[in-house]
């Protein structure tokens, strides 16, 4: 298995996260990536530095104006400090422009050149601070996904993008939920140019709202998401079963909400339904948005999975027989990340745990 990561991704070191009206310590800590790298190294996987794809590659799934904002916001923020305006330690919004939440309806670009206005417009919530080094990490996280997609295009049956920051809550021109650039969508777009029909299966605890919205009107990309039911869980406004796509994408979006407290055994019928939909769609390649925040002891999960859930995911994908790009999303209990990834790899390769080292 080929895997991709760049140590530049450690430069994103958020200091603030708003939860229930309190600024708290962020859950997207550096140790998350370190734990996943440890699992890969133990299994003998080759971890390569991704190619530099430049900024333009991100325009495949995001607006140029939004990407330009991400690339320049921190420098502009610090310029305010030089002017004596005393901004905070990170770029954070103090405005929340109206967003209907209706999937498939694109937003226009921010009409104001003001940094404060653009920050409110492009950073969708208070979980997406931009600090010194954030943009470099965001860019290289996207390059990680692009390189994994290219590996599959070049013939690899499986490639893993250790993306940090994560991406599945990032919309065409809006950051949200720890996510800035939609790495899974970028990988899917690249695969679609080679394979035609592509599927994205998102098994994070949270609905992949950004991925859904980017492809909602597309008939060549099927998006499937299993996630904690969203009426009382982030992202709240999307992720419902009635959202099935629009226009050319009608019938190409499948949401499979899970009741809070759902166990591994209760999850399996939804997983099977999602895999069946991918097979019926006729996908020729697959992107798996893998989140380990479904684990029962994760600090922000509402689900109760054990590690067997990830083994089952791997087994189902192996049975599909499609080339797969694994894109890392959430998972905030650091101790669960290594065994979670280990179980997924075991399922993907259909070998006992003791034999994985030799097989990878």
Tokens in use for 96?
């929340």
Spatial separation of the C-alpha atoms in residues 239 and 261, rounded to whole Å: 17
Spatial separation of the C-alpha atoms in residues 207 and 238, rounded to whole Å: 8
Find out whether the peptide bond into 86 is cis, omega within 30 degrees of 0: no
Task: Tell me 305's DSSP state.
Answer: B
Neighbours of 35 (CB within 10 A): 21
Give residue 195's region: left, alpha or beta (phi > 0; psi -120 to 50): alpha
Distances in whole angstroms, Cα of residue 173 to Cα of each of 209, 287, 301: 13, 21, 26
Give residue 133's region: left, alpha or beta (phi > 0; psi -120 to 50): left
Catalytic machinery residues:
169
Distances in whole angstroms, Cα of residue 13 to Cα of each of 18, 26, 34, 212: 15, 9, 13, 27
Spatial separation of the C-alpha atoms in residues 239 and 242, rounded to whole Å: 9
| Residue that has been written with the tokens 């809006």 in this structure | 174
Spatial separation of the C-alpha atoms in residues 355 and 360, rounded to whole Å: 9
Start-to-end C-alpha separation, the chain: 6
């Amino acid at each position: 298995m080929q895997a991709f990561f760049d140590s530049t991704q450690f430069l994103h070191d958020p200091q603030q996260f708003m939860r229930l009206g309190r600024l708290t310590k962020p859950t997207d800590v550096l140790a998350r990536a370190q734990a996943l790298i440890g699992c890969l190294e133990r299994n003998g996987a080759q971890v390569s530095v991704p190619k530099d794809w430049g900024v333009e590659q991100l325009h495949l799934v995001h607006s140029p104006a939004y990407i330009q904002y991400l690339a320049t916001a921190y420098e502009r923020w610090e310029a305010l400090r030089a002017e004596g305006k005393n901004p905070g330690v990170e770029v954070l919004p103090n405005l929340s422009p109206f967003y209907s939440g209706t999937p498939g309806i694109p937003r226009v670009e921010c009409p104001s050149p003001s940094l404060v206005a653009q920050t409110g417009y492009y950073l969708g919530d208070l979980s997406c601070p931009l600090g010194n080094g954030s943009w470099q990490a965001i860019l290289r996280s996207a390059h990680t996904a692009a390189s994994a997609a290219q590996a599959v295009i070049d013939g690899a049956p499986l490639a893993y993008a250790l993306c940090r920051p994560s991406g599945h809550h990032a919309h065409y021109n809006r950051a949200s939920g720890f996510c800035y650039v939609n790495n899974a969508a970028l990988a899917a777009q690249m695969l679609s140019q080679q394979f035609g029909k592509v599927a994205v299966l998102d098994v994070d605890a949270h609905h992949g709202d950004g991925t859904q919205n980017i492809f909602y009107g597309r008939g060549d990309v099927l998006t499937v998401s299993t996630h904690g039911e969203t009426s009382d869980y982030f992202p709240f406004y999307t992720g419902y079963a009635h959202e099935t796509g629009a226009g050319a994408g009608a019938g190409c979006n499948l949401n499979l909400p899970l009741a809070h407290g759902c166990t591994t055994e209760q999850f399996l019928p939804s997983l099977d339904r999602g895999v069946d939909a991918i097979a019926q769609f006729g996908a020729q390649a697959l992107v798996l948005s893998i989140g380990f925040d479904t684990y029962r002891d994760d600090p922000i999960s509402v689900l109760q999975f054990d590690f067997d859930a990830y083994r089952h995911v791997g087994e189902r994908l192996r049975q599909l027989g499609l080339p797969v790009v694994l894109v890392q999303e959430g998972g905030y209990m650091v101790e669960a990340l290594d065994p979670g990834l280990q179980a997924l790899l075991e399922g993907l390769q259909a070998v006992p745990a003791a034999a994985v080292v030799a097989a990878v």
